[in-house]
Structure formats: structure tokens, C-alpha cells
């Protein structure tokens, strides 16, 4: 008996696998390695290379490994790129989720933890985002994640699926140096890559109505996020009540300027960020409440900003 982690060779998925391991719960990974790395999968964890769009492969994986529940992290995760590749985004995130749910139903598997996103909110007009904040996704990626939540909701009505969706905000850091964020679009990798190349990182806009003029965002440590996936799985497995969605947010947020200053201290590389104009549509502040997740999913901010940066930098250094 094991939990299947789709996308378990990726940055977030691999941390989820390790969080399950720390609780003594067996996992199996399926990943097509489009953005993941086979080296991220522990040698002791069965690895199936392939896409969740491959229904026969899914059926065999669920059957052969005696899967009892699924953590669904696989997907196309680049919001900006999704605007240029909407059909690909919907295929990976909507058709993929639908295919997975159908395979689960036929295999008699009724528990799933879904990787959703803060992108379902778009640009919220709220100082503190809660699970009830209106949804207004502004990219095919955000739309695909909201549709994923709807698929789970409707499958629960139709077939008794037990589920929860975890809405991530800005995931950073590393729980172990061999797992680094290799996304070409995320802030920390962009900043580190610039420094390694001898360039100054860029800040987009310093005239926002925030304490230092730069955007404030909600940054959470990937290892903290992974713990809550396991807590959600255990809650489902134990038949306990669970909310349909949870925000994994800090409740506070930090500014891009604070991040730049912390990066300079942690790396020992002194720099003055390049300043560019605001990006169209960037709100001054997006911060989320994590109260529901703290109540039910062992959610808390276990890492300071300095620890987030230092762990991410150590992982970046390890792959040089």
C-alpha cells in the first residue's frame, strides 16, 4: 500500500515524497521529466517515467503498486508561458487531471490531495486573501487550476471522492541541498542565476504603496508546504473532516526589496539591483491567510526569510 505522487520528480513533488518518507509512508512517483529530474527521486522509491495522460500506464501503476491515495502535483506550472500555450496548459492540467480521476475511480481509489495555486485568485482586491476571496484567474494556468478544483468537487458528488486542494503562494527554499528549484521563471532562481553570471538582479517597480516601494508577496518554504501535504493525506486516510480548499500562506508577506537585501547578506555578494518599470498588472501586495491550514494541516511558517534564502542558495551551489 502506497500513495502515488504525480510529478514527484519535480522541485515540490520531490519534497512531498521526502515528507511522506519521514512519516514512514510508502510512495510511488510518476513523472514525465518534462521539468523534473530523476535524480530527485530517492533510490528507495519506485519511479514510473511517463505522463498522466497515458491511461494504460496510469492503470498499471495504480494496480501494480497497490496505490491507496494520490497526491497530484504534476502539471504545467508556468503562468506567463501558459498565455502563449493555452492548449498545452489545458491538456496537461485539465485533461491530465480528468484522466487521473477516471483511472482512480476504476481502481477504487477515492482519496486525493491536489496541487492548486494562488493563481486562481488572479489579482485580488484584498489585503489578506482567504479561501473565500473571489476567484478571478488571469491566465490559462490559473484557469486550469480552478477547473482542477471543480473536477474534484464534481467527482466527489458523482463518486464519493474524498479530496482537498492546496493553494500554493510563492514556494521557495530547499529542504535538502540536492533538491533545487530549477524553474526558469521563479524569483529565487532568477536572482541566483544573475549573481552567478555576474549580473545585477532586477526589481520591477520601486514606487508601489508599500513600506519600501517594492511589491509584497507571500513566500513559503517548500519543506513546510510538503509537511501539510502529508497531514492532508493522513486526514483523508483517517476519515477525518477536511475542507475542500486551503491557502498555504504566511499571513504577513515580504517585499522584493527585503528579499534582495537578504540575498546579498546570505550569499556574501554585494549588489545594487537593477530597477525597471512596473510590470503591467502587478498588484502592490498579495498575502494570504493560512489559518484554516494551521487548524487542520499542521501548517506553520517554520523558516525565516534568511533560512529560505540560505537553503535555496545552498541547493543552487550544490548543482554548480
Looking at residue 119, which CATH number applies to its domain?
Answer: 3.40.50.720
Does a structural domain hold residue 294? no
Does residue 39 share a domain with residue 7? yes
Q: What is the mean pLDDT of residues 162-190?
A: 95
Does residue 145 share a domain with residue 66? yes
Q: What is the C-alpha to C-alpha distance for residues 224 and 298, in angstroms, rounded to an integer?
A: 9
Least confident of 148-152, 230-234, 275-279: 275-279
Does residue 159 share a domain with residue 120? yes
Does a structural domain hold residue 184? yes
Q: For residue 263, what are the domain limits?
A: 173-218+251-288+302-318
Does residue 198 share a domain with residue 102? no
Does residue 199 share a domain with residue 153? no
Q: What is the mean pLDDT of residues 174-180?
A: 96
127 pLDDT more than 90: no
pLDDT (0 to 100) of residue 280: 75
- Yes or no: say if 247 and 167 are a contact pair by the CB < 8 Å rule: yes
pLDDT (0 to 100) of residue 320: 56
Does a structural domain hold residue 139? yes
Q: What value does the mean pLDDT of the chain take?
A: 96
Does residue 199 share a domain with residue 145? no
Does a structural domain hold residue 47? yes
Q: What is the mean pLDDT of residues 90-94?
A: 98
Does a structural domain hold residue 42? yes
pLDDT (0 to 100) of residue 123: 87
Name the more confident of 125 and 153: 153
pLDDT (0 to 100) of residue 279: 81
Least confident of 6-10, 58-62, 122-126, 254-258: 122-126
- 197-225 pLDDT, tens digit each: 999 999 999 999 999 999 999 999 999 99
Does a structural domain hold residue 296? no
DSSP element (H, E) containing 68: strand 67-72
Does residue 64 share a domain with residue 79? yes
256 pLDDT more than 90: yes
Q: What is the mean pLDDT of residues 292-315?
A: 97
Confidence of residue 156 (pLDDT cuts 50, 70, 90): very high
Does a structural domain hold residue 295? no
Does residue 138 share a domain with residue 125? yes
- What count of Cα atoms within 13 Å lies in the side-chain half-sphere of residue 215? 22
Check if 141 is active-site. yes
Does residue 89 share a domain with residue 163? yes
Does residue 152 share a domain with residue 82? yes
Does residue 179 share a domain with residue 314? yes
Q: Which residues contact 251 (CB under 8 A, 6 or more apart)?
A: 128, 287, 288, 289, 290, 291
- What count of Cα atoms within 13 Å lies in the side-chain half-sphere of residue 155? 26
Q: Check 11, 90, 121, 141 and give the catalytic one.
A: 141
314 pLDDT more than 70: yes
111 pLDDT more than 90: yes
**CATH, residue 264:** 3.90.25.10
Rounded to the nearest 5°, which phi and psi values hold at 39?
-65, -15
- Yes or no: say if 137 and 146 are a contact pair by the CB < 8 Å rule: yes
How many domains is the chain built from?
2
Q: What is the mean pLDDT of residues 300-311?
A: 97
Does residue 206 share a domain with residue 183? yes
Does a structural domain hold residue 297? no
Amino acid at each position: 500500500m502506497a500513495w502515488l505522487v504525480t510529478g514527484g520528480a519535480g522541485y515540490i513533488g520531490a519534497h512531498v515524497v521526502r515528507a511522506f518518507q519521514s512519516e514512514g509512508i510508502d510512495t510511488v512517483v510518476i513523472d514525465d521529466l518534462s521539468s523534473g529530474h530523476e535524480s530527485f527521486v530517492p533510490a528507495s522509491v519506485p519511479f514510473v517515467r511517463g505522463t498522466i495522460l497515458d491511461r494504460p500506464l496510469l492503470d498499471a501503476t495504480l494496480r501494480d503498486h497497490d496505490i491507496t491515495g494520490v497526491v497530484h502535483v504534476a502539471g504545467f506550472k508556468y503562468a506567463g508561458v501558459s498565455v502563449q500555450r493555452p492548449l498545452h496548459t489545458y491538456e496537461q492540467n485539465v485533461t491530465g487531471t480528468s484522466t487521473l480521476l477516471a483511472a482512480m475511480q476504476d481502481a477504487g481509489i477515492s482519496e486525493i490531495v491536489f496541487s492548486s495555486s494562488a493563481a486562481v485568485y488572479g489579482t485580488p482586491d484584498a489585503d489578506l486573501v482567504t479561501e473565500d476571496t473571489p476567484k478571478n484567474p488571469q491566465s490559462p494556468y490559473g484557469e486550469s487550476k480552478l477547473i482542477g478544483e471543480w473536477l474534484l468537487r464534481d467527482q466527489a458528488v458523482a463518486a464519493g471522492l474524498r479530496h482537498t486542494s492546496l493553494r500554493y503562494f510563492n514556494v521557495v527554499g530547499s529542504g535538502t541541498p540536492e533538491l533545487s528549484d530549477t524553474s526558469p521563471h521563479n524569483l529565487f532562481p532568477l536572482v541566483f542565476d544573475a549573481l552567478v553570471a555576474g549580473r545585477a538582479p532586477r526589481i520591477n517597480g520601486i514606487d508601489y504603496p508599500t513600506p519600501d516601494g517594492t511589491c509584497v508577496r507571500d513566500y513559503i518554504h517548500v519543506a513546510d508546504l510538503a509537511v501539510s501535504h502529508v497531514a492532508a493525506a493522513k486526514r483523508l486516510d483517517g476519515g477525518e473532516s477536511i475542507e475542500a480548499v486551503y491557502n498555504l500562506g504566511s499571513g504577513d508577506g515580504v517585499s522584493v526589496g527585503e528579499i534582495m537585501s537578504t540575498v546579498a547578506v546570505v550569499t556574501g555578494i554585494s549588489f545594487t539591483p537593477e530597477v525597471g518599470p512596473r510590470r503591467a498588472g502587478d498588484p502592490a501586495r498579495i498575502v494570504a491567510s493560512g489559518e484554516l491550514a494551521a487548524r487542520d494541516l499542521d501548517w506553520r511558517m517554520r523558516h525565516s526569510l534568511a533560512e529560505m534564502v540560505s537553503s535555496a542558495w545552498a541547493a543552487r551551489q550544490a548543482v554548480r
